[in-house]
Amino acid sequence: MKLTISTSDRRFSISGTEEQLKALFCKLVSNIIFDKTVTISQQISVADTQSALAVKNQSFGVKGFLFVRCPKCGHEYGFCSKSPITEAICKECGEKFLLTSKMTPVEFTCECGHSFKYLTNISDSEFDIPCLDCGTPNAVIFHKADNQYKDVRRIHNA
């Protein structure tokens, strides 16, 4: 298979397996999308918007405070990622699992007064999340209207 990029007087072509070329294509498109020096009108001419958005959703990772549950052993832990990541490695069993941009926001205020915002891959209707400061487990409940988890107090005050 071949991947070809061309303008009226320039042409770049590379051959490889379908998998390799797909990966390369996604990389190129996401580079173009996230290159702030390229203006919107240029972006649209290089990649059609739909596939560009698909790439954005697939390959753009998550960052910030994350609270994840290992799909293999069920171990739950929180950490902070400064740069976007697309997978995590379980601290307990070493399982490597995917993190998608569809992770659900969690907001809670612990009884110690500290507020936290996380993203989670957990999809239970409620679960406990320990306070990073004092270690108290805080029960959070999925709040459908806002599509996020909130602690019980927040839901009652809302």
Binding interface with Zn ion (CB under 5 A)? 70, 72-73, 75, 90, 92-93, 95, 110, 112, 131, 133-134, 136
CB-facing half-sphere around the CA of 24: CA atoms within 13 A: 14
The span from the CA of 112 to the CA of 135, in Å, is: 10
Residue closer to Zn ion by CB (options 71, 84) is: 71
Taking the complex as a whole, how short is the minimal distance between the CB of residue 140 and Zn ion, in angstroms?
13
The span from the CA of 101 to the CA of 59, in Å, is: 9
The span from the CA of 91 to the CA of 127, in Å, is: 19
Taking the complex as a whole, how short is the minimal distance between the CB of residue 31 and Zn ion, in angstroms?
33
Residue closer to Zn ion by CB (options 64, 74) is: 74
Residue closer to Zn ion by CB (options 49, 136) is: 136
Taking the complex as a whole, how short is the minimal distance between the CB of residue 156 and Zn ion, in angstroms?
19
130 with 110: CB under 8 angstroms? no
